[in-house]
Structure 1
Amino acid sequence: MRALSLSSACLLGLALFAQAAGAEITLTDITERRVTLPAPAQRIVLGDARHIIELAMLDDDPAARLVGWRADKGLDPARLAAFSAAFPAISDIATVGAGNRQLSVEQTIALDPDLVVLSLVDAEDPQMDVPLSQLEAAGIAVIFVDFFSHPIENTPRSLDILAKAIGAEARAAEINAYYTAHLNVVRDRLADHMPEAPSVFVQVHATPDSCCATVGAGVFHDFITAAGGHNLGEDIVPGLMGTVGLENLIALDPDVFLATGGAHLRARGGLVLGAGVSETEAADSFAALLATPGIAELSAVESASATGIWHLFNDSPLHVALIEHLAQRFHPALFADLTPEATMAQMQARFLPVSVPGVWWIDAQ
């Protein structure tokens, strides 16, 4: 279970007392919109169900505030089971949309929320213009946060935004201090030593029969860059995501091959990593991927410079542990002292109400 420092607990108590006295909350969201709430939000609809993780970092009982969520970006099964066991009220959360990021305005309004939390992806999606205008006409406050598109740039600020909306600024400050301190160790050491960046290719949602979805600028690109690597996808993929053919990947012949996976790929015979995954299943699925014709012949695979990573690092502050691990893989001598496994364990134990064991990354041997 997480534990707040005494000073943070006192600050949180003072903040809650002030807001209980009726103080209005005005905040600026990730898109620079100014939003005013009459009081801390008590009835929240999440545009992305998996953002219950961030809410749980800030609130001892996140399910008590959630009345609805859009389910197409939900928790993986093991974490959903753990959260549901800890917070049975999760079963009462209404679904207000799923698939292709559709949001049912009618269902949302019927839930009488005092806040709808959407992502930067929604803010940049033209299909959301009408739903947003309808929510505004209904007098429902909407804020945008971003833990996905530009995660390193926007995660601390998004935590602050969400925290201010519910009156948990002290808790956000503690999380952000931990996050920034760990990130700065990597940043500062890279800046001091200026090592050559290895070329890196990342196959997202990796399966042996489909090569290769990858990322351009943003998401995993940000993690690769922060760890001192050069994402080849940025050179050839416009936007956040795109596809590179196997023959093109072979021609690129990256120094490091990364692959993302999760429980959602189990049925497709893909890379399985994450919460509730055993080391045996992770190792077997990674070996099958690396044995794929074409991928098996990459220099990075032949030299054991290949790593599998949990895909859902892409929408969570937990990604700072991944950055530490990638920094060790890219520059082993420079970052030999880092302990990314401990960082992952500490973040779950200190900042989340439940800790779920799993396999978060796996390296070729």
Structure 2
Amino acid sequence: MLADWQYKGLGADADRLEKLGIPVVVVDYNAQTVERHVASTLVFGEITGHQARAREIADLYKTTIENVHKRIAAAGKPKPRVYVEFGNKGPSEYSFTYGKNMWGSMIDLAQGDNIAAPFVQWWGPINPEQVLASNPQVVLIAGTESTKVPGSLLIGEGWQNLEAIKDKRLYGVYQGASRSITDFAAIQYLAKVFYPELFGDIDPEGNYKAFYRKYLSVTPECTFFTGL
């Protein structure tokens, strides 16, 4: 089982594996589109013999994103300006932000206006002055389980003047809740913080944990989404 980028990187080695009788199956959650998420999940169903279960999960993902888009389209509200940063370096240094992939793609799916998109193609740091000039209305800091850098979800100097901070729209999101079928819950959360009046009845973290309870062998116990 390979991701699309891994398969492409193998080149002729993939042919060698197949000649040895080792089937090569490619899935592509990294593309972060509804179509690829659905197709990849159905592939898992085929190779495990659990087609009905895979279809149920794929339909859950598809209908969740469709519901997000339908509500936002019906409201006709302008997209909020959003800045996301991987909070692995603490408040003393700007870390990666995202353009087309990971949280950048998820901001797009949740109908936000990613301020980094014109300046960062995939991922990388953005000029701090550009963050201040773009004045995001929502700030997201993505964190992991790592405790190597104390206070890694704290914000950087100068941000007290940003509209997002003045309005207490600073949020922490779990870095691991991206690029998988479970990122439907993260997209729900982004949509809820972008358009809080439209998604008051949605519990993204509850949905995230419920997915694990229903479809997986472990249930995560922690806080995966939080805000001021």
Partner of 2:139: 257
Contact 1:146 1:158 in 2 (8 A): yes
Q: Following the alignment from structure 2 to structure 1, what is the Cα–Cα distance between the partners of residues 210 and 222?
A: 14
Q: Following the alignment from structure 2 to structure 1, what is the Cα–Cα distance between the partners of residues 25 and 201?
A: 40
Q: Following the alignment from structure 2 to structure 1, what is the Cα–Cα distance between the partners of residues 32 and 220?
A: 26
Contact 1:261 1:270 in 2 (8 A): no
Match of 2:148 among 244, 247, 267: 267
Match of 1:332 among 171, 182, 196: 196
Contact 1:151 1:315 in 2 (8 A): no
SS at match of 1:349: helix
Larger Rg: 1
Partner of 1:351: 215
Give the deviation of 1:249 after TM superposition.
1.6
Match of 2:7 among 110, 123, 143: 123
Contact 2:178 2:186 in 1 (8 A): no
Partner of 2:110: 227
Partner of 1:315: 179
Give the direction of change, closer, same or farther, for the CA distance of 1:301–1:312 in structure 2 (3 Å limit): same
Give the deviation of 1:124 after TM superposition.
4.3
Q: Deviations over 1:290-318 (max 9, x none)?
A: 2x313344331232111110001123222
Identity across matched positions, percent: 26
Question: Unpaired segments of 5 or more residues in structure 2?
Answer: none
Give the direction of change, closer, same or farther, for the CA distance of 1:124–1:209 in structure 2 (3 Å limit): farther
Q: Following the alignment from structure 2 to structure 1, what is the Cα–Cα distance between the partners of residues 93 and 48?
A: 43
Give the direction of change, closer, same or farther, for the CA distance of 1:187–1:241 in structure 2 (3 Å limit): same
Alignment pair present for 1:208 and 2:113: no
Q: Following the alignment from structure 2 to structure 1, what is the Cα–Cα distance between the partners of residues 150 and 159?
A: 16
Contact 2:32 2:102 in 1 (8 A): yes
Question: Unpaired segments of 5 or more residues in structure 1?
Answer: 1-116, 272-285
Give the direction of change, closer, same or farther, for the CA distance of 1:124–1:231 in structure 2 (3 Å limit): farther
Give the deviation of 1:261 after TM superposition.
0.5
Alignment pair present for 1:194 and 2:73: no
Q: Deviations over 1:66-105 (max 9, x none)?
A: xxxxxxxxxxxxxxxxxxxxxxxxxxxxxxxxxxxxxxxx
Give the deviation of 1:175 after TM superposition.
1.2
Q: Deviations over 1:113-144 (max 9, x none)?
A: xxxx111221344xx22532432342321111
SS at match of 2:97: strand
Partner of 2:21: 139
Q: Following the alignment from structure 1 to structure 2, what is the Cα–Cα distance between the partners of residues 163 and 250?
A: 46
- TM (norm. structure 1) is 0.58
With 351-360 and 179-188 compared, the bigger mean Cα shift is at 179-188
Q: What amino acid is aligned across from residue 241 of structure 1 in structure 2?
A: W
- TM (norm. structure 2) is 0.90
Q: Following the alignment from structure 2 to structure 1, what is the Cα–Cα distance between the partners of residues 93 and 145?
A: 17
Partner of 2:206: 342
Alignment pair present for 1:169 and 2:169: no
Contact 1:246 1:294 in 2 (8 A): no
With 142-151 and 254-263 compared, the bigger mean Cα shift is at 142-151
Give the deviation of 1:327 after TM superposition.
1.3
Q: Following the alignment from structure 2 to structure 1, what is the Cα–Cα distance between the partners of residues 48 and 114?
A: 37
Q: Deviations over 1:142-196 (max 9, x none)?
A: 1111122325331111010121112111110111222223222211112222211
Contact 1:202 1:257 in 2 (8 A): yes
Contact 1:212 1:246 in 2 (8 A): no
Q: Deviations over 1:30-81 (max 9, x none)?
A: xxxxxxxxxxxxxxxxxxxxxxxxxxxxxxxxxxxxxxxxxxxxxxxxxxxx
Contact 2:7 2:14 in 1 (8 A): no
SS at match of 1:308: strand
Give the deviation of 1:242 after TM superposition.
2.3
Q: Following the alignment from structure 2 to structure 1, what is the Cα–Cα distance between the partners of residues 113 and 6?
A: 28
